């Protein structure tokens, strides 16, 4: 594990928190800009915007598929391994959907088809937003109760928030849409994120010993934790992407990005704030 060369004790708190905070700022700008231009912080996928998704295994080329469906609001044709194709359409009216449905049935009778209406997508959007909000508030309360101390608890909450914000901004930049699957993954990130944050905070605040030792001990454990999770998620991503299982592939890619972001936020942002906090309260 060579990327473990990072030494938590080498840098001052100010140096540690700079990069994560700058990235958080940039993420805020990306999401803010998208909200201003589209009304939503992230580009919505079919679940939230309405539309039709088709998964099919066919030897037809992308061009053939595009030609076949040229009369419909075709958004994209994704390709996997072993002839897997993932075709996305924007929302359309009922008559057009019926005709599309008949065409799919004729051309690709073995396709998996999912369709979500535009207004229903809006309802789902509202509900998902509500879920994320509730999750975040719930998490903050649990962390606050667990540490009963504003600065360390605030650092954990900030790190979790930053995880979600930066991950969301990266999704927007590389074009992963916000869907039910990716929303769930963002929520899951809250869980993963606090795992290592709590380990770090507990080790530093509740154990006796030199700060440097406690930090590097926590780092050693934390890295192995995130690496095991990363490896499980990576396996999930590889297999589901190759096998055209869109929902698992989406969840896994967001978790992958999020876990890397979390490494930074835990061991630079959270560790930095915690170090400063311990150094200051030690001087008193």
Partner 1 sequence: MKSETIINLIKDWRVALLIVLVIGSLVGIYLAPPNPEKGLEGNLQFGLDLEGGSWLQMEFQSVIVSYSTDKPVGDLIENLQKSLEADVTQIDADHLEIRKSVSRADLEPIFAASGAKIVTYHEGVSQYTADDVKRILSKKVNALGMQDAKINLLTPTGSEYPQYVRIELAGVDMATAQEIVGKQGMFEIRVQTTGNQTEHVLFGDQITSVGVPQKDPYYQTWGVGFTLSDSGAQAFREAALKSGAVDNPSGHNLVMLLDNETVYSAPLSGELAAQIRSAPVKSLSATTGTGDAGLEDAMTLEIHLRAGALPVKVDVVGSGSVPAALGEQFKTTVLLAGLLALLTVGFVVYYRYREPSIVIPMLAITLSEIVILLGIARFIQQLDLASIAGLIAVIGTGIDQLVIITDEVLHEGRVPSSNLYMKRYGRAFGIIAVAAATVIIAMLPLALMDLSTLRGFAIITILGTMIGILVTRPAYGKVIMAILSK
Which positions from 53 through 82 interact with partner 1, judged by CB under 8 A? 55, 57
Q: Least distance in Å: CB of 110 to partner 1?
A: 5
Q: Is 228 in the site for partner 1 (CB under 8 A)?
A: yes
- 199 contributes a contact to partner 1 by CB under 8 A: yes
Stretch that binds partner 1, among 11-19, 59-67, 192-200, 267-275 (CB under 8 A): 192-200
φ, ψ dihedrals at 250, nearest 5°: -65, -45
Nearest distance from C-beta of residue 181 to partner 1, angstroms? 7
Query: What is the rounded distance in angstroms from the CA atom of residue 45 to the CA atom of residue 77?
Result: 14
Residue 45 C-beta: closest distance to partner 1, Å: 13
255 binds partner 1 (CB under 8 A): yes
In angstroms, the Cα distances linking 165 to 23, 254, 259 are 10, 12, 13
Which residue, 30 or 230, has its beta carbon nearer to partner 1?
Answer: 230
Give yes or no for residue 204 binding partner 1 (CB under 8 A): no
In the chain, what is the greatest distance between 2 CA atoms, to the nearest angstrom?
77
**What does the alpha-carbon distance between residue 52 and residue 91 come to, in Å, rounded to a whole number?**
7
- Based on DSSP, count helices (H) and strands (E) in the chain, helices before strands: 10, 4
Asked if 112 touches partner 1 (CB under 8 A), the answer is yes
Q: Identify whether the C-beta of residue 17 lies closer than 8 Å to the C-beta of residue 51.
A: no
Q: Judged by CB, which is closer to partner 1: 22, or 238?
A: 238
Contact with partner 1 (CB under 8 A) among 15, 61, 76, 123:
123
Residues contacting partner 1: total by CB under 8 A: 75
Please give the backbone phi and psi of residue 275, each rounded to the nearest 5 degrees, phi first. Answer: -65, -50
According to the binding rule CB under 8 A, does residue 138 interact with partner 1? yes
Nearer to partner 1, 18 or 115 (CB): 115
DSSP output for 79-92: E-STTEEEEEE---
Q: Is 153 in the site for partner 1 (CB under 8 A)?
A: no
Question: Token pair of 279, please?
Answer: 């150094």
**CB-nearer residue toward partner 1: 30 or 77:** 77
Q: Which of 12, 38, 231, 281 binds partner 1 (CB under 8 A)?
A: 231
Least distance (Å) from partner 1 to the CB of residue 106? 12
User: Which residues within the stretch 168-187 sit at the binding site for partner 1 (CB under 8 A)?
Assistant: 180-181, 183-184, 187
Q: What kind and span of H or E run contains 133?
A: helix 118-147
Burial 197-210 (b: 16+ CB within 10 A, else e): bbbbbebbeeeeee
103: contact with partner 1 by CB under 8 A: no
Site for partner 1 in 232-251 (CB under 8 A): 232-236, 238-240, 242-243, 245, 247-248, 251
Which residue in the set 2, 93, 106, 110 belongs to the binding site for partner 1 (CB under 8 A)?
Answer: 110
Buried b (16+ CB within 10 A) or exposed e, 155-168: bbbbbbbbbbbbbb
Question: Between 116 and 273, whose beta carbon lies closer to partner 1?
Answer: 116
Q: Distance of CA 231 to CAs 159, 160, 225, 255, Å?
A: 22, 21, 10, 11
């Amino acid at each position: 594990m060579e990327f473990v060369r990072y030494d938590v004790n080498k840098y001052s708190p100010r140096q540690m928190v700079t990069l994560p905070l700058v990235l958080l700022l940039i993420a805020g700008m990306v999401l803010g800009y998208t909200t201003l231009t589209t009304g939503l912080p992230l580009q919505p996928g079919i679940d939230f915007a309405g539309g039709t998704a088709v998964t099919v295994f066919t030897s037809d080329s992308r061009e053939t598929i595009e030609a076949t469906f040229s009369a419909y609001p075709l958004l994209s044709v994704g390709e996997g391994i072993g002839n897997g194709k993932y075709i996305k359409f924007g929302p359309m009216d009922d008559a057009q959907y019926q005709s599309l449905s008949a065409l799919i049935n004729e051309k690709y009778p073995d396709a998996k088809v999912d369709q979500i209406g535009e207004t229903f997508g809006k309802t789902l959007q509202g509900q998902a937003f509500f879920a994320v909000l509730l999750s975040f508030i719930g998490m903050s309360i649990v962390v606050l109760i667990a540490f009963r101390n504003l600065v360390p608890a605030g650092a954990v909450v900030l790190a979790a928030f930053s995880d979600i914000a930066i991950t969301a901004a990266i999704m927007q930049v590389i074009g992963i849409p916000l869907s039910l699957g990716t929303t769930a993954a963002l929520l899951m990130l809250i869980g993963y994120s606090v795992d290592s944050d709590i380990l770090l905070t507990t080790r530093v605040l509740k154990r006796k010993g030199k700060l440097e030792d406690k930090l590097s001990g926590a780092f050693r454990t934390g890295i192995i934790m995130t690496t095991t999770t990363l490896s499980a998620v990576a396996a999930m991503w590889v297999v589901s992407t190759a096998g055209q299982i869109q929902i698992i592939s989406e969840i896994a890619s967001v978790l992958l990005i999020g876990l890397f972001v979390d490494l930074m936020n835990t061991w630079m942002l959270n560790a930095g704030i915690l170090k400063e906090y311990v150094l200051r309260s030690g001087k008193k």
